[in-house]
Amino acid sequence: MTQPAPLLEIENLEVTFRTEAGNVTPVRGVNLVVHAGRTTALVGESGSGKSVTSLAVMGLLPRPAGRISGGSIHYRLKSGEASNLVTLSLEGMRKLRGSEIAMIFQEPMTSLNPVLSVGEQIAEQVRYHTGMGSAAAMRRAEEMLGLVEIPDAVRRATDYPHQMSGGMRQRVMIALAMSCNPRLLIADEPTTALDVTIQAQILALIDRLRREHGMGVLFITHNLGVVAEVADDVTVMYAGEVVESADVRTLFRKPRHPYTHALINCLPAHAKSGSDGRRFVPSIPGTVASAAGAHGCKFEPRCSHATPYCQASHPALETMDGTHTIRCWRWSDL
Amino acid sequence: MSDAPLVKVRGLTKHFGKAPALVHAVEDVSFEIERGEVVGLVGESGSGKSTIGRLILRALDLTAGAVAFEGREIGGLSQRDLRPLRRRMQMVFQDPFASLNPRLKVKDIIGEALDAHGLAQGPARLRRIGELLEIVGLEAQHASRFPHEFSGGQRQRIGIARALAVEPDLIVADEPVSALDVSVQAQVLNLLQGLRQRFGMAMLFISHDLDVIELMCDRIVVLYLGRIMEVGPAEEVCRRPRHPYTQALLAASPKPDPDAPRTRQLLQGDIPSPLAPPSGCVFRTRCPLASEACARAVPAMRSAGPDHRFACIHETEQADP
């Protein structure tokens, strides 16, 4: 089976931040692929670098402290040609953000303008990116609010963000993102702040939009339940680098990296009964290591399969078979 | 010792503010916690689960209803009369960054609890602090460090050590692992399981995460907008839920299994405002089974089996999966 050229292809991405204590590299060695019409989940715990990766793709790294210091981000444009976002100008990036790539965040309240009605906010963006007149842009905004299943959309368009619930605000964010027909949607923990019954609605909505519009979705989350629910492909990050990447079924059924394996096993849903009858979850010792320092494998201090070699030398990302990649010295004998 | 349950809550009600901005946070809630039992409170935001925890600890005053501790009514006790009881009931908070005083060393954070109840002085005090730190999986030498020197999971362990210092009979744990990474969450859950086995204290375990609740609890109380929807043994409620809300909550929780069926009944709309809860059954505005009768009266609790009750007037039995 040959896959068509991916919509987004990140290779060897490295991000550096300048701090008072010198340069830090929260992300290095990120390889990631998103296909049109499919969802790639980017999973990791806090400090894994998943959000920094998404900001790098959007060209939204805080300036001037943060910059892409290595690698490439190839995006396939509507016209079919590939564009390296790392070398794109600020102006070029701004055009792309409105017309091709859109992003939604965890906390919609901080991403929306509190003094503009939600309809005006969407209309403003439509006018900026399409040059549409005010009345037409407002109608487009109302249409978008309907698209994200906000009941009574025409009336709700005049509401301000504070008059809406968290779930409704996230729908507004999605409407804002969808208003320019993006081909790639980056969703950074879009349901983390929501209750589960509302989360289910938002996940179903994003999935419907992906299917109907053939969008590629890069879905960033720490929740493996959500990953199993939404993802076609999964990339796992640990301490700033990709450690494993595979299709969702392979990743859950046959995880090969010790971290992925342990992460899936430590979920309460996978609790085991101990010899004393008490139920427990097999946990990972220690805490997430900082991305800086360490010559060897970043996961080595917490890995139950680690050898002295793992401590001394840093493993590269290898392809096991097809699209299954792994960063571990010991994958072939585990 | 009496046969009374450790905690018995009857008709517990809490309103905040006054009309027209009266918040119905908790409405007519009744349940028990037996000695050594772990009872889970599960629900979404606005369900009143944290408020119930605070009412039982008397960190809040009741609007109506009764709370009995070992058969003794404590709902109306003054703060002074509550003092000896405080040693019997402790709390573990959600946010390990906000719940530890950043200016105190660990030994003083834990020592405060000992001092307040005059439990250990002089060299015995420091010995006891070291012992408590080891019980929660830290080291005695951590006593002279400040909270900022620890990770989130370690801070949560310090919070647990502080609660354990007075050897309580009841710990109210309010979302104790929600702020932690999954890999660290597992460590803290295992620690709590171990402590419960070792010391046999009862727990009121508050969480929005049904997987965590099912793992940790003997019995579960499912709440929606301040009212009990369903109560029963943990496994029973999770395997054979009878209330439409419990069924929806279970269906909406993402399963970490890509082959799990994805066709699930989605609840429409938002949780109504606790300022104006719906009449009759509070869940009816989102319930797939709602009928006119649901608006007329608050449904009574019905039995669904031994110790398993639910508040719905409809036929809700689901075929076994």
Q: How far is B119 from chain A (nearest CA, A)?
A: 31
Inter-chain touch A198–B270, beta carbons under 8 Å: yes
B189 touches chain A (CB under 8 A): yes
Q: By residue range, what is the domain housing residue B209?
A: 7-88+168-239
% of chain A beyond a pLDDT of 90 = 72
Mean pLDDT on B66-89: 93
In the sheet with B7-16, reading across from the earlier edge strand, the strands are B23-33, B7-16, B64-69, B72-73
Residue B216: inside a domain? yes
Q: Name the residue in chain B with its Cα closest to that of A164.
A: B270
Q: How far is B254 from chain A (nearest CA, A)?
A: 5
Question: CA–CA separation, B203 vs B193, rounded Å?
Answer: 10
Structure tokens of A64?
A: 């001037």
pLDDT value at A20 more than 80: yes
Q: What is the pLDDT of residue B266?
A: 79
Of A200, A227, A284, the CB nearest to B183: A284
The DSSP symbol for B212 reads H
Residue A199: inside a domain? no
Residue B45: inside a domain? yes
The CATH number assigned to the domain holding B217 equals 3.40.50.300
pLDDT in tens, B162-176: 999 999 999 999 999
Mean pLDDT on B252-274: 83
Amino acid residing at B106: V
Cα angle vertex B97, ends B94, B101, to 5°?
110
Inter-chain touch A248–B258, beta carbons under 8 Å: yes
Q: What is the pLDDT of residue A3?
A: 62
pLDDT value at A184 more than 90: yes
% of chain A beyond a pLDDT of 70 = 96
For residue B264, list chain A residues with Cβ-Cβ distance below 8 A: 200
Q: Name the residue in chain B with its Cα closest to that of A249.
A: B258
Residue A37: inside a domain? no
Question: CA–CA separation, A69 vs A329, rounded Å?
Answer: 26
Cα angle vertex B34, ends B221, B40, to 5°?
25
Inter-chain touch A278–B197, beta carbons under 8 Å: yes
Inter-chain touch A228–B189, beta carbons under 8 Å: no
Inter-chain touch B197–A226, beta carbons under 8 Å: no
Inter-chain touch A45–B182, beta carbons under 8 Å: yes
| DSSP states of A45-65 | -TTSSHHHHHHHHHT-PPTTT
Residue A158: inside a domain? yes
Provide the pLDDT confidence category of residue B319 given band limits of 50, 70 and 90. low
What is the ipTM for the molecules in this complex? 0.89
What's the domain count of chain B?
A: 1
pLDDT value at B263 more than 90: no
Mean pLDDT on A171-176: 94
A87 touches chain B (CB under 8 A): no
Closest CA to B223 of B47, B30, B12: B47
Residue B234: inside a domain? yes
Question: CA–CA separation, B229 vs B242, rounded Å?
Answer: 9
Residue B152: inside a domain? no
pLDDT in tens, A287-324: 776 544 568 999 998 999 999 999 899 999 999 988 99
Residue A286: inside a domain? yes
pLDDT value at B321 more than 60: no
For residue A285, list chain B residues with Cβ-Cβ distance below 8 A: 187
Residue A229: inside a domain? no
A223 touches chain B (CB under 8 A): yes
Cβ partners under 8 Å of residue B37, min gap 6: B6, B202, B203, B218, B219
In A79-166 the beta strands, taken as DSSP E runs, fall at 82-84, 101-104
A63 touches chain B (CB under 8 A): no
pLDDT value at B1 more than 60: no
Residue B297: inside a domain? no
Question: CA–CA separation, A57 vs B110, rounded Å?
Answer: 46
What's the domain count of chain A?
A: 2
A167 touches chain B (CB under 8 A): yes
pLDDT value at B115 more than 50: yes
**Average pLDDT of chain A to the nearest whole number:** 91
**Average pLDDT of chain B to the nearest whole number:** 93
A237 touches chain B (CB under 8 A): no
**Where are the alpha helices (H) located in A179-213, listed in sequence order?**
196-213
Question: CA–CA separation, B202 vs B90, rounded Å?
Answer: 11
Question: CA–CA separation, A56 vs A62, rounded Å?
Answer: 9
Domain boundary pick from A178, A199, A229: A178
For residue B255, list chain A residues with Cβ-Cβ distance below 8 A: 225, 228-229, 269
A83 touches chain B (CB under 8 A): no
Provide the pLDDT confidence category of residue B264 given band limits of 50, 70 and 90. low
Q: Name the residue in chain B with its Cα closest to that of A272.
A: B215
Residue B177: inside a domain? yes
CB pairs under 8 A between A and B: 126
% of chain B beyond a pLDDT of 90 = 80
pLDDT value at A203 more than 70: yes
Residue B205: inside a domain? yes
Residue B80: inside a domain? yes
pLDDT value at B2 more than 70: no
Question: CA–CA separation, A48 vs B191, rounded Å?
Answer: 25
Mean pLDDT on A46-58: 92
Domain boundary pick from A162, A178, A194: A178
* Element at A41 (helix H, strand E): strand A39-43
pLDDT value at A1 more than 50: no
- For CA atoms B186, B191, B192, B194, the dihedral sign is positive
For residue A270, list chain B residues with Cβ-Cβ distance below 8 A: 256
* Element at B135 (helix H, strand E): helix B122-135
Residue A294: inside a domain? yes
pLDDT value at B265 more than 70: no
Q: By residue range, what is the domain housing residue A271?
A: 255-333
Contact A116, A107 (CB under 8 A): no
Measured CA distances, B296 to B214, B238, B290, B299, B312 (Å): 33, 29, 11, 9, 13
pLDDT value at A2 more than 80: no
Note if the bond before A301 is cis, omega within 30 degrees.
Answer: no
B265 touches chain A (CB under 8 A): no
